[in-house]
Structure 1
Amino acid sequence: MNVFTKLTNLGVSKLVNEDTIKKVRIVNQISLFILTLSTFMLATAIVSDFPRIAIILFIPVTLIILLPLVLNNMGKTIASRIVLLCCTYGILFVQSIVYGPELHIHYFLIACVGAPLFLFNGEIGVFKWVLVFLMFPLWLYLEWHFIHKAPLIAIDPNSLYWPRMTNDLLLVAVILFMFYTFSEQSNKQIKNIEEQRLAIEILLKEIHHRVKNNLQVITSLLALQSMGIKEEKIKNLFSGLQNRVISMALSHEMLYQTDDLERIDYEAYIRKLVNGLISSMKEQENEIDVQLNINQIFLNIDTSIPLGLIINELVTNSLKYAFEDNKGIITITIKKLTDENFLMEIGDNGVGFTDVSKKGKKSSLGLTLVQKLTMQLRGTLKKDTSKKGTNYSITFQEIMPKS
């Protein structure tokens, strides 16, 4: 088995292209198969006392089949495939002369039609089709000759019976052996692919974990820096920055904690984000209820982070201005409209506030950020004045990463 494996891998170490490596292994295995078959044919021809011309025909096809192995070892992969096909045609031709054509028509069709199409892509151009049709005229002539004229080599039918029977049994055995080796190689490749996939998943989880840790370091630095600030306005700015960084870190945290490294369960994400904001900004005895309607919505990280920042800004505004007695409801609904388009309705039932932009002043940093992020998500932002409190309706698209 070790010798067979070494012969199968002749020339593989010099290649980097996976498709070429696969074809080199196939050529090597087919060459070994034909070598085994032709060697047996030569042995049975000698033992069964076939005419000398039959023995002479078997000798070259037995020796020349080693050439594809040599060519692969030299790195000449295309030449080895062409030589292999010619050797296959040669052994089929010899078989048809000695044993008759009726037993090998199906092998002939596989070799002449299937093999060139299987072994070559676009490397040899139209020559591939030349190889496909190369043997058909000769085969048609042999069929006509066996029907209308005497055999090319006269051999006693009684002498042919056991060689042909043994030859076919050997053929089946070799095919089964090749099928087994192909299966083993396929299983090994599948196992390698699975191991590579698991390694990539572990690497991605580690990346998300490190990004989350780095963002948490930033929030800690912002918290430490804000401790020495006495001016309430600047302190609030630092607190807002902390919450924005936390919302981004939360996306990476949820990605590495789940099996799906591409999409986030957005209901769980928003619940964790909003509850964290309430805990940090309101007293423990608050009676602020969060109502979510986000069933089976999963978004990738390119969409999750900007949308999370939008939610962070609007919920922060609600917690700051909407609830005078720490009582109220924050509602967030996300609906899928089409494959890429979504609708988010977010708001509160608090006292509401007047849009400062209507007074001729610039919008606050938070609302400006919301508008910019909505544009980034290719969406629209509308304030819903039909409901109590402050409510927004935002359409957005899932942003697919560029390949």
Structure 2
Amino acid sequence: MSAAVAAYFFIDPIFSFAIGLKDTFALTIFVAIGFTMSWITEALREAVRRLDESEAAKALLLEELAHRTKNDLAIISSAITLQRNNSKDPAVRDALSAANARVLVVAQAQERLRGDGKGGLVGLSDYVTALGHGLGDLLRDVRPIAVRVTCTDIFAPSSVAVHVGLIVNELVTNSLKYAYPTERGGVIKVDITTNGTNMIVTVIDDGVGCSPETVPGLGSKLVRLLAKQLGGTVEREDANPGCCVRVTLDERILLLP
């Protein structure tokens, strides 16, 4: 239509479709370019449509995977709880309780993946806050111990969120178990921030303090292993009063696929 309008109104003789061979060749190239552009535009539109469908299918599969994984972890947690309740050995019961807490950390991360709409990312603020409150309710018994969590608005891949959750789980559990002997109460603070190059996870209590003679247990070894897997380091220092453990992680882990 554009070629016809140009031929009729703008190419001599005007108001006529009688055009010369040179103008016919130019109009033919113009029409060919127009059809090519239309074909490319339609191809791009179809590619975008297929990409949207693929993203929707991937999101659905991710949600289904998270749901199935959560159910599997719930079964494992129930089995561990049953085994713990049937055991009369306090050491075995404590070990099974610790294992169950770790399973629940992973389960909570999977729950956060469901319908997140962020391509499999977990909001660390809500995740760690819920985790800290759950640990406090589970482990503090009747002692007046509060677990307070502050976390900047960070979204991390699920694998990173699980690592961070396990680190927080082990550090808070250690504080709840060892920092407050007898009926002593206190506050355990969890702080997660970024400084442009690193993500820093800090757990500080106001308990009895860090003993230099303390032999690292399974929890401490697990924290160091988890930090190492994310290219991080672990520092432990006296907080006067209490103990402070700082885990520094490379912020590039937040960009992992």
Task: Give your verdict on TM over 0.5.
Answer: yes
Quick one: which amino acid aligns to residue 315 of structure 1? V
Quick one: which amino acid aligns to residue 148 of structure 2? Q
Q: 1:394 to 1:162 in 2, by over 3 A?
A: closer
Select which of 379, 382, 392 maps to 2:245: 392
Partner secondary structure for residue 384 of structure 1: strand
Within 5 Å, give how 1:83-122 maps onto structure 2. Answer: none
Residue 346 of structure 1: aligned partner:
203
The alignment's C-alpha RMSD in Å is 3.5
Within 5 Å, give how 1:296-335 maps onto structure 2. Answer: 296-323=153-180, 324-325=182-183, 327-335=185-193
Within 5 Å, give how 1:215-226 maps onto structure 2. Answer: 215-226=73-84
Q: 1:179 to 1:381 in 2, by over 3 A?
A: closer
Deviation of the 1:191 alpha carbon: 1.1
Quick one: which amino acid aligns to residue 304 of structure 1? A
Partner secondary structure for residue 164 of structure 1: coil
1:377 aligns with 2:235: no
Q: 1:255 to 1:380 in 2, by over 3 A?
A: same
Residue 259 of structure 1: aligned partner:
117
Deviation of the 1:296 alpha carbon: 1.7
Deviations 1:180-224 (A, max 9, x none): 454333322211111111111111221222222212211111011
Deviation of the 1:366 alpha carbon: 1.2
1:274 aligns with 2:132: yes
Q: 1:374 to 1:189 in 2, by over 3 A?
A: closer
Which protein has greater RCO, CA pairs closer than 8 Å, 6+ apart? 2
Quick one: which amino acid aligns to residue 191 of structure 1? R
Select which of 14, 19, 34 maps to 1:164: 19
Within 5 Å, give how 1:131-170 maps onto structure 2. Answer: 162-164=17-19, 167=24
Overall identity of the aligned pairs, in %: 28
Partner Cα distance (2:61, 2:225) in 1: 32
Whether the aligned pair in 2 keeps the contact of 1:330 and 1:348 (CA below 8 Å) is yes
Q: 1:373 to 1:162 in 2, by over 3 A?
A: closer
Whether the aligned pair in 2 keeps the contact of 1:205 and 1:261 (CA below 8 Å) is no
Partner Cα distance (2:136, 2:193) in 1: 24
Select which of 86, 89, 93 maps to 1:228: 86
Partner secondary structure for residue 342 of structure 1: strand
Greater share of strand: 2
Quick one: which amino acid aligns to residue 276 of structure 1? G
Partner Cα distance (2:250, 2:74) in 1: 28
Quick one: which amino acid aligns to residue 282 of structure 1? R
Partner Cα distance (1:371, 1:182) in 2: 54
Q: 1:188 to 1:374 in 2, by over 3 A?
A: closer
> What is the number of residues matched between the two proteins?
246
Whether the aligned pair in 2 keeps the contact of 1:302 and 1:400 (CA below 8 Å) is no
Whether the aligned pair in 2 keeps the contact of 1:223 and 1:239 (CA below 8 Å) is yes
Q: 1:374 to 1:193 in 2, by over 3 A?
A: closer
Whether the aligned pair in 2 keeps the contact of 1:321 and 1:352 (CA below 8 Å) is no
Quick one: which amino acid aligns to residue 254 of structure 1? R
Partner Cα distance (1:396, 1:260) in 2: 22
Partner secondary structure for residue 258 of structure 1: coil
Deviation of the 1:390 alpha carbon: 2.1
Larger radius of gyration: 1
Whether the aligned pair in 1 keeps the contact of 2:156 and 2:255 (CA below 8 Å) is no
Deviations 1:225-266 (A, max 9, x none): 111101111100000000011112222221224111343211
1:195 aligns with 2:43: no
Whether the aligned pair in 2 keeps the contact of 1:384 and 1:391 (CA below 8 Å) is yes
Partner secondary structure for residue 335 of structure 1: strand
Partner Cα distance (1:207, 1:176) in 2: 46
Partner Cα distance (1:335, 1:402) in 2: 18
Deviations 1:38-88 (A, max 9, x none): xxxxxxxxxxxxxxxxxxxxxxxxxxxxxxxxxxxxxxxxxxxxxxxxxxx
Partner secondary structure for residue 230 of structure 1: coil
Residue 205 of structure 1: aligned partner:
63
Quick one: which amino acid aligns to residue 363 of structure 1? P
Quick one: which amino acid aligns to residue 164 of structure 1? I
Structure 2 residues without counterparts, runs of 5 or longer: 4-10
Residue 95 of structure 2: aligned partner:
237
